[in-house]
């Protein structure tokens, strides 16, 4: 869709419904290449759900899908998530 | 820093249209009153949700264009002909109508006067919206941070916030326009896509360690960020906010 944003920033809303802290400044380390950076700087793709990809190696870090009153998080591509408290 | 503050979880809340104003033939700013709005930072966005009569829902993200203050939130929206959400926002909403908002969102692409500068802000088309929030906040706070705003628009008529930017410019705020599709007769400014040479002239250079914010369609952001790194700016100092193609 034309109007979609394509940064990790765009996942801030959905992440904010689940986590009680600001998540776009949290740091994700890629399980593929080991690069680390803020969620806001990840690449975001939107289809049936949301996929956050590593800007260095394109590895899918997180997949988020919503439906039927539930939310699924697949953190399989991520090594660590560091959250500022 | 607000980015480290525990904020509580976000929820959808009702927003009432307080005003609608045309910026250009294709761009409209909609002001919302959001009771209980917790306040926002310049650069943050909101998610907008529309629900059709049959229950079908569509969500989009829009940057907040207004400076923080009160319960007012202004969004600047480009009309996309085949869009699912923007034709409704730009063409159908009237004062008193309600939609749902979730936000404010984001602690990454934000600036506050206390963060200092200098600032290098680069906008492609409607990507100027979150940068305008920063420029408006800077003015409202009486900040003297050296700020260079480079705005890329297709034509003179399509420059968003043109008159307000003319009023705000001066002192330590420099506003530079480039026109990529057509320029009026006698136009002496830039008339090409943003490139390294233009960024070097607009400045500040890497030696001044500016905080850099780039917002626009994905190809614009990619090209500008690459040019900035080529000029010697630190990749970590360059914050980007990409949009899908919006014709800019």
B83 touches chain A (CB under 8 A): yes
Are B43 and B133 in contact, with CB atoms under 8 Å apart? Answer: yes
- Predicted local distance difference test score (pLDDT) of residue B2: 47
For residue B103, give the 3-state DSSP assignment.
strand
Q: Which residues of B touch A10 (CB under 8 A)?
A: 45, 61
- Sign of the Cα torsion B8, B58, B32, B157 reads positive
A48 touches chain B (CB under 8 A): no
Residue pair A13/B107 in contact (Cβ under 8 Å)? The answer is no
**Does residue A17 have a pLDDT over 70?**
yes
Token readout for B112 is 């506050």
State the residue range of the domain holding A53. 5-82
The answer, yes or no, to whether residue B226 has pLDDT greater than 80, is yes
Give residue-wise pLDDT tens across range B58-106. 888 899 999 999 899 999 999 988 888 899 999 999 999 999 999 999 9
> Nearest residue on chain B to A13, judged by CA atoms?
B105
Residues 6+ apart with CB under 8 A from B35: B13, B14, B71
Same domain, B29 and B98: yes
The Cα B79–Cα A41 span in angstroms is 27
pLDDT for residue A67: 85
Q: How far apart are CA B128 and CA B65, in angstroms?
A: 8
A60-67 and B238-243 strand pairing: unpaired
Q: Are B64 and B124 in a shared domain? A: no
Please tell me which of the candidates B5, B9, B45 has its beta carbon nearest to residue A9. B45
The Cα B170–Cα B214 span in angstroms is 21
Q: Does residue B4 lie in a domain region?
A: no
Q: Cβ A17–B9 below 8 Å, yes or no? A: yes
d(CA B132, CA B135): 5
Residues B159 and B239 in one domain: yes
Question: Is the same domain home to B166 and B227?
Answer: yes
Structural domains of chain A, count: 1
Query: Alpha-carbon distance B13 to B15, whole Å?
Result: 6
Q: What is the pLDDT of residues B173-217, one digit of tens each?
A: 999 999 999 999 999 999 999 999 999 999 999 999 999 999 999
The band of B247, judged by pLDDT with boundaries at 50, 70 and 90, is: very low
How would residue B244 be classed by pLDDT, with cut points 50, 70 and 90?
low
Q: Do B96 and B142 have their domain in common?
A: no
Residue A68 at interface with chain B, using a CB cutoff of 8 Å? no
Please determine, for residue B16, whether its predicted confidence score (pLDDT) is greater than 70. Answer: yes
Q: What is the pLDDT of residue B7?
A: 61
Write down the pLDDT at residue A25: 93
User: In the predicted model, what is the mean pLDDT of chain B?
Assistant: 93
- DSSP state for residue B180 in the 8-state scheme: S
Which of A3, A7, A10 lies closest to B240 in CB terms? A7
Report for B28-32, B59-63, B216-220: range of highest mean pLDDT: B28-32
In a shared domain, residues B124 and B156: yes
Shared domain check, B239 and B137: yes
Which domain does B33 fall in, by range?
13-105
| Closest alpha carbon to B40 in B22, B15, B77 | B15
Percentages of chain B per state (helix, strand, coil), in multiples of 5: 25, 35, 40
Q: What is the DSSP letter of B206?
A: G
Classify residue B95 by burial, with Cβ atoms within 10 Å: 0-12, 13-18, 19+. exposed
Facing residue for B218 by CB, picked from A6, A16, A22? A6
| Count of structural domains, chain B | 2
- Do B101 and B132 share a domain, yes or no? no
Residues contacting residue B192 through CB under 8 Å, at least 6 positions apart: B178, B180, B198
Q: What's this model's pTM, rounded to 2 decimal places?
A: 0.91
Whether residues B108 and A25 touch (CB distance < 8 A) is answered with yes
Instruction: Verify that B119 and B208 share a domain, yes or no.
Output: yes
* Partner B contacted by A4 (CB < 8 A): yes
For residue B2, the Cα-to-chain-centroid distance in whole angstroms is: 20
Answer whether A5 sits within 8 Å of B105, measured CB to CB: no
Region of A20 (left: φ > 0; alpha: ψ -120 to 50; beta: rest) is alpha
Q: What does A9-31 look like in DSSP terms, one character per residue?
A: GGGHHHHHHH-SB--TTSEEEET
Report chain B's C-alpha Rg in angstroms.
18
CB contact under 8 A, A6 and B6: no
Residues B88 and B135 in one domain: no
């Amino acid at each position: 869709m034309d109007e979609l944003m394509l940064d990790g920033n765009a996942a801030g809303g959905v992440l904010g419904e689940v986590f009680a802290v600001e998540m776009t400044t949290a740091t994700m380390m890629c399980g593929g290449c080991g690069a680390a950076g803020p969620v806001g700087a990840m690449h975001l793709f939107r289809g049936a759900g949301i996929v956050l990809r590593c800007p260095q190696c394109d590895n899918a870090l997180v997949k988020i899908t919503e439906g039927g009153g539930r939310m699924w998080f697949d953190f399989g591509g991520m090594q660590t998530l560091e959250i500022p408290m | 820093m607000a980015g480290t503050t525990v904020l509580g979880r976000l929820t959808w809340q009702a927003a009432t249209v307080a005003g609608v104003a045309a910026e250009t033939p294709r761009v409209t700013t909609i002001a919302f009153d959001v009771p209980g709005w917790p306040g926002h930072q310049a650069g943050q966005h909101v998610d907008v949700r529309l629900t059709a009569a049959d229950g079908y829902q569509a969500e989009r993200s829009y940057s907040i264009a207004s400076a923080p203050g009160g319960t007012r939130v202004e969004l600047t929206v480009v009309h996309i002909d085949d869009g699912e959400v923007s034709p409704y926002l730009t063409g159908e909403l009237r004062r008193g109508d309600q939609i749902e908002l979730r936000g404010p969102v984001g602690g990454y692409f934000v600036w506050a006067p206390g963060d200092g500068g200098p600032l290098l802000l680069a906008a492609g088309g409607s990507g100027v919206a979150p940068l305008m929030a920063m420029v408006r906040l800077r003015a409202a706070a009486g900040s003297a941070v050296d700020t260079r705003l480079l705005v890329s628009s297709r034509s003179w008529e399509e420059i968003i916030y043109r008159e307000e930017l003319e009023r705000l410019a001066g002192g330590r705020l420099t506003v530079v326009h480039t026109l990529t599709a057509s320029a009026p007769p006698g136009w002496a400014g830039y008339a090409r896509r943003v490139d390294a040479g233009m960024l070097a002239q607009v400045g500040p250079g890497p030696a001044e360690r500016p905080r850099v914010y780039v917002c626009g369609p994905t190809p614009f952001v990619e090209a500008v960020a690459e040019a900035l790194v080529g000029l010697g700016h630190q990749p970590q100092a360059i914050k980007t906010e990409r949009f899908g193609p919006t014709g800019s």
